[in-house]
Structure 1
Amino acid sequence: MNLNSLHSVHFLGIGGIGMSALARWFNHIGVKVSGYDRTPSPLTAALESEGMEISYVDQVATVPTRILDSSSDCLIIWTPAMPKDSVQLNYFRKHAYNLKKRAEVLGLITSGMPSIAVAGTHGKTTTSSMIAHLLKSGGKNIAAFLGGVTQNYNSNLILHDEEGMEARVVVEADEFDRSFLHLHPNVAVLTSADPDHLDIYGDDAHMMEGFRAFVALLPENGCLYIQHKAFEKLGLAESNPWKVKQYGVDKGDIRAENVQALPGIFRFDFLGDGHKIIGLSLRMPGFHNVENALAAIAIALDEGLSEEQIREGLSSYRGVKRRFEIWVQEEDRVFIDDYAHHPEEIRAFLTSVKAMYPDKKLTAVFQPHLFTRTRDFAEGFSESLSLADEVVLLDIYPARELPIEGVSASMLLDGIRSPQKSLQTKEGLLDYLGSTEIEVLVTIGAGDIDRLVEPLANWMKTHENQV
């Protein structure tokens, strides 16, 4: 399929973080872009300001006439998160439009370019954005399709210089619906291999099969960077047709040592591949983010960056929106927002926050994401949230799902061991927080809790503790 011959591309779920990066790429190369999404958001507003047509009504009448008048030279890109009864999706299927998933199109775009694909249950957005930033700041010609908006570039798409040297693509490889199996990586990173998306995979064993299939996409001269626990979990052989490099904090071929957790910054030493880089500074805190940085640094070294370029690139890396994003950091109050929506992500996040502020009360506001995930990992959620001194639960964000009888946020409450715990509504959250002592406040979740972040930050800067 010749993507350059298309006159129009229509996205179903254009407001998704991965979908919007693709929409921006097509818009950049001069293809007319339109799309549908369920609700407006800051991201859809940004796409509209860039010239894309977006509707928020799932009806055929809202599709541009150029799409309806010609099915042969337009492309419909859809996300599996679209409901099965979507009016537009079913219309395009019935009338034999050319439909492709996001990952299929990414595979087509990147098939002719050397690619670094980053997969894993957790950490892939941060790791892929770190790789992209280190390489770009080090003078390499790269393009990047990311699953989050980087603070350095204020975008989820980094465009390469088409007139310069051969470009390398950095792409976030999504395991949802086995989408990552459409990619063609020369270098692969696997950040973690914990069970998730059991509504798709069925069980942990089948999900591990999916990750092994992703790794098997590598050519014989390829290289796999894999977190050491993921290596053990997948049961990969010591001898492989591709080069394998394990990494981790204090363990692996590539490792971090002397890790220091300080307010707003982590410091560590990098050891591996014949290099020892002392006293690196990472302004995106977290033990897990130090681990993510190891893979990025190792790849940067393999790509020819000097130790000084890596030190400067890592120090200037500002992270990804909604990943350990510090909104308020004052002597008597701290507010951090994070996208964590899996028990292991919450555990890593809260462990790092407690290490940064060991003597302060930690209040966690959590919005569960998906009924199936809440049901499947209820015990794990309760256990990881118990790391906080106080836990506030909001209602489940359903995303693409319908309610499941007996599944609600309240089912997590009994298993939480924190001294204080409660259920609150989004509307009543500020009033509740005003009635309790707040020192370090964190918001956690992948749903629409993000819309509470800026109001909470403004409130944190002005409120006086009443307790």
Structure 2
Amino acid sequence: MNNIQSIYFIGIGGIGMSNLARYFMSKGKKVAGYDRTETPLTKELVKEGAAIHYTDDVNLIPDYCKDKFTTLVVYTPAVPADNEEVKFFHENNFIIQKRAQVLGTITKASKALCCAGTHGKTTTSSMLAHILKQSHLDCNAFLGGILKNYNSNLLLSANSEFTVVEADEYDRSFHWLHPYMALITSVDPDHLDIYGTEEEYLKSFEKFTSLIQPGGALVMKHNIKLSPKVRENVRVFTYSTDKGEFHAKNIKIGNGEIRFDFVTPKETIDNIQLGVPVKINIENSIGSMALAWLNGVTADELRHSMATFQGAKRRFDFLMKTDRIVMIDDYAHHPEELAASITSVKELYPDKKVTGVFQPHLYTRTRDFAPEFARSLSLLDELILLDIYPAREKPIEGVTSKIIFDEVTCPKILCNKEELLPLLANKNDIEVLLTIGAGDIDQLLLPIKDILEQKI
């Protein structure tokens, strides 16, 4: 890395790519990149010093990124292979690495605490990073969400030996990492466009557990369908809300608060209060606190950090909270995540109508889990279903949002993104609005909020 003077990112606006871009800028490197669309995140990166363009055009690559001896090219597997800039760098023999490969190199010399799982990894890694940052240990962190406490997805420390990493299973990316300790939240099948079968998906997680360094530990959700393949001298613990070596007891929910006692293998830490009081965060916090506790974070530090944790943007994110209308945004994009998110909202607001706006993410995921999506979305009091966000994929014949819509049993509306704002403007029965999905629905959040505020 000492010889590298500039880093060029293809897909720089991705949440995982952008924290690497910020890291290299903090090290004084020149950073540039391409992405398909301008977003608030790319605008922030430009303000911080990155040169970014939005047209796939080799001529727009800065000259300082065209020297193959001093430039590292980082790409995300989500970028299609026919991208002209990708082809240019390949044809000219540049050093080209996946994001996860670069992250593995950066974190290799530190004690990497890696949070993996089909869902929950952004929240748990964000919680863990905040706990360590507020403790005597401190940390570096590469996160998959913008942490509200710091308004960033990158945390840096000059002295800490710990690095918190959100470990992504897509395209087997997490196999590049070197975990000192790991947390696995869930292994519900996903990304079957990559893995093909549930068996292959689980094998990928088994491989990830084999990478944990001797002397380290694995903390995994109690009762998940995973047989870890850990090395000798790696401790294995389980956790959940109410079972495992790490769990909660004396849970109290009420008056907008959640408190409980945190049970560890050696002590019980009483009166943990959640800064984001959503039921699903009890379990998320148990996993995060388990890793922190294993590394020496004290009881008082755990209490303080959990009470002050504000959450990550787009993870059960309250955008509006009034007596008349509530608006919550969540990144949920897998059937299990949707069910957990909707259930949490209905528990918080049992007497209010919950309307969900869902944007499916990927044709393959929609095809593979259409019945499961329909079951989860039927938990809503009303569904507004948008078109599929394709991301990296080409359309698949016969796969549209309608294959979910037809099986949903609650009152429902099918519309495209352009029709959504007028539809909401004309609705007079919105009490709790939940926007859900991993696509570009986040670009509509402010306009939706404006519409709801006008109704009050």
TM-score, L = length of structure 2: 0.97
Partners of 1:369 and 1:447 within 8 A in 2: yes
Matched, 1:424 2:424: no
Count of residues in correspondence between the two structures: 455
Which structure 2 residues correspond to residues 340-379 of structure 1 after superposition, within 5 A? Answer: 340-379=332-371
Gaps of 5+ in 2: none
SS at match of 2:140: strand
Q: Which residue of 2 aligns with 1:182?
A: 176
Identity %: 47
Root mean square deviation, CA, Å: 1.6
Which structure 2 residues correspond to residues 33-432 of structure 1 after superposition, within 5 A? Answer: 33-68=31-66, 70-161=67-158, 164=159, 166-230=160-224, 233-236=225-228, 241-262=233-254, 265-418=257-410, 420-432=411-423
The alpha carbon displacement at 1:238 in A equals 11
The alpha carbon displacement at 1:107 in A equals 0.8
1:23 to 21, 24, 33: 21
User: Greater CA deviation, 450-459 or 190-199?
Assistant: 450-459
Deviations, residues 8-53 of structure 1 (Å, cap 9, x unaligned): 1100000000000000001110110000000000000000001110
Q: Which residue of 1 aligns with 2:12?
A: 14
SS at match of 1:234: coil
Output the CA distance in 1 between the equivalents of 2:195 and 2:398.
Answer: 22
Output the CA distance in 2 between the equivalents of 1:283 and 1:357.
Answer: 18
Q: Which amino acid aligns with 1:24?
A: R
Q: Which amino acid aligns with 2:297?
A: L
The alpha carbon displacement at 1:272 in A equals 1.7
Partners of 1:264 and 1:284 within 8 A in 2: no
The alpha carbon displacement at 1:111 in A equals 0.9
The alpha carbon displacement at 1:66 in A equals 1.7
Output the CA distance in 2 between the equivalents of 1:24 and 1:392.
Answer: 36
User: Greater CA deviation, 254-263 or 6-15?
Assistant: 254-263
Deviations, residues 93-126 of structure 1 (Å, cap 9, x unaligned): 1111100001110111111111101111101111
Gaps of 5+ in 1: none
Partners of 1:13 and 1:38 within 8 A in 2: yes
Output the CA distance in 1 between the equivalents of 2:179 and 2:384.
Answer: 41
Partners of 1:192 and 1:229 within 8 A in 2: no
The alpha carbon displacement at 1:261 in A equals 4.4
Q: Which amino acid aligns with 1:335?
A: M
SS at match of 1:192: coil
SS at match of 2:439: coil
Deviations, residues 340-371 of structure 1 (Å, cap 9, x unaligned): 00000001111111111111111111000011
Output the CA distance in 1 between the equivalents of 2:338 and 2:117.
Answer: 15
Output the CA distance in 2 between the equivalents of 1:458 and 1:430.
Answer: 10
Q: Which amino acid aligns with 2:267?
A: H
Change (3 A) 1:156 1:237: closer
Change (3 A) 1:459 1:263: farther
Output the CA distance in 1 between the equivalents of 2:254 and 2:96.
Answer: 49
TM-score, L = length of structure 1: 0.94
Partners of 1:81 and 1:400 within 8 A in 2: yes
Output the CA distance in 2 between the equivalents of 1:178 and 1:220.
Answer: 22
Q: Which amino acid aligns with 1:249?
A: T
Deviations, residues 146-199 of structure 1 (Å, cap 9, x unaligned): 0110000100000112xx3x4211111110100100111110111110100001
Output the CA distance in 1 between the equivalents of 2:379 and 2:357.
Answer: 12
Output the CA distance in 2 between the equivalents of 1:265 and 1:75.
Answer: 47
The alpha carbon displacement at 1:257 in A equals 2.7
Output the CA distance in 1 between the equivalents of 2:369 and 2:248.
Answer: 30
Partners of 2:209 and 2:230 within 8 A in 1: no
Output the CA distance in 2 between the equivalents of 1:349 and 1:264.
Answer: 17
Output the CA distance in 2 between the equivalents of 1:297 and 1:197.
Answer: 28
Q: Which amino acid aligns with 1:395?
A: D
Partners of 1:369 and 1:445 within 8 A in 2: yes
Q: Which amino acid aligns with 1:51?
A: G
Partners of 2:210 and 2:228 within 8 A in 1: no
SS at match of 1:337: strand
